Amino acid sequence: MALTIARLVIDIWQTEMKALVRANVIAEIMILRTSELTEDLTSAAVKTSNLKKWLACKYQFNYKDQSYYHLIRALIADKDLLPLGLPKGTVATMSRKNFVKEMLHQATKSKPAAPLLKKGPLLPLIQDASKEIARLCSILQATPQDKQSWTMDALLFAVQDAQILFAPWIPLPNTHGGRPASKPSHLAWISFSTPPPPNTISSSSHLLRIDPAEVLTSQLSALSQRTQSDDANGHWSAVEIRLCDLPSIFHKTVPPDEWCIFYVTQAQQIYGPKGTAADSLVSETYTWAFNVFDMNNPVHRLALYTSIIVSKMLPNIFNPFAGPRVPAPPLAKTATVPEILRSVREVDLCDVPRNGHGEAAPFIFMATKA
């Protein structure tokens, strides 16, 4: 129940931040459309297109589905600033734990600052949610410190589950003085694990005569991939990575995309026993392994890296008679060992259905669990 309440809070926070970005970008688009300059009209069209694509992404505050790329194109019109990535706020980076701590702290104020808005449904909801989570914890006769810690843990889990890697924040103070801003802005962002952005991205388009738009798209795609790769929280694929590049993921604090119980449950449904005690035990074992796996545990990481290395040795072709549901080789029962071996050598190897151990994704999960 506590986790459900926490996830509701984070979902509404995401909705408010998406509305913040959408409203401000649309306002910028409307201003650009009033211009008679071709470059302004082009910028308006680019912003409109990328804003729609960003809002359509499943994870707006992540690198998946080119979300990061579309967000940058929707926010920034100046092409010289695009290679620098998201504009930075008063704080460039922050841990998720401190982000949640600040969210709870601001919820106690009458005039909250980032990461909360001063108006909207989230502020009263997060206050009620904190009380409800604390009430649920009271059943365990917990101390006030325990209640606060459990509330933070619930919200932290919700932020991680929503795969939020960056968020709107307080913009840098302007040079004209005045009262500093305190509410989140679409033009100021923090990251929960962002590497230093490149200062420049060189281009040889004038030599190669490449379309500048294609060059820019290529540069931003490379920036998105590099940022995602360097980000300790960025998603990565164990199947796609090469052995020589394995050290490049040693800093990751999240499991690979293949760390999904779906792969092994699907293999079990196809090849495993149905409705037996053994079937239930296997399912419970996989579920347990999935829940307790911790990337911060060196032993768990070693098991994962070992399974990735071994998975690279799995063959892609098999003897067509090796599967559990294919006919045996056409040999007499009295065939000698040399005859059997000769028959196996003469068959055409092919990609045939096998159990989960023949596929890299479920193998990585299974081998790590073991």
| pLDDT(196) > 50 | no
Q: Does 122 map to a domain?
A: yes
Residue from 262, 243, 363, 247 nearest 307 by CA:
363
Shared-domain flag, residues 219 and 270 = no
Residue from 135, 137, 112 nearest 124 by CA:
112
Q: Does 328 map to a domain?
A: no
| pLDDT(330) > 90 | no
Shared-domain flag, residues 252 and 135 = no
Location of structure tokens 């409800």: 132
The count of domains in the chain is 2
Q: Which of 179, 206, 230 is the last residue of a domain?
A: 230
Q: Does 154 map to a domain?
A: yes
pLDDT of residue 22: 95
Shared-domain flag, residues 64 and 201 = yes
pTM to 2 decimal places:
0.61
Q: Does 155 map to a domain?
A: yes
| φ, ψ (nearest 5 deg) of residue 101 | -60, -40
Percent of the chain scored above 90 by pLDDT?
A: 17
Q: Does 351 map to a domain?
A: no
pLDDT of residue 333: 56
Shared-domain flag, residues 96 and 28 = yes
Shared-domain flag, residues 178 and 93 = yes
Shared-domain flag, residues 289 and 225 = no
Q: Are 228 and 234 in contact (CB under 8 A)?
A: yes
Burial class (CB in 10 A: 0-12, 13-18, 19+), 132: middle
pLDDT of residue 169: 93
Residue 161, CA distances (Å) to 19, 329, 349, 350 in order: 21, 49, 43, 40
Shared-domain flag, residues 186 and 45 = yes
pLDDT tens for each residue of 17-52: 999 999 999 999 999 999 888 888 989 998 999 999
**Torsion-angle region of 141 (φ positive above 0: left; ψ -120 to 50: alpha; else: beta):** left
Shared-domain flag, residues 67 and 140 = yes
Enclosing domain of residue 112: 2-230
Shared-domain flag, residues 254 and 146 = no
pLDDT tens for each residue of 54-105: 999 989 998 887 888 899 999 987 777 777 788 888 888 888 889 999 998 8
More confident residue, 253 or 239: 253
Location of structure tokens 């768990």: 300
Shared-domain flag, residues 151 and 285 = no
Residue 348, CA distances (Å) to 187, 320, 337, 352 in order: 60, 8, 19, 11
pLDDT tens for each residue of 135-169: 766 666 667 777 778 888 888 889 988 989 999 99
Q: Does 346 map to a domain?
A: no
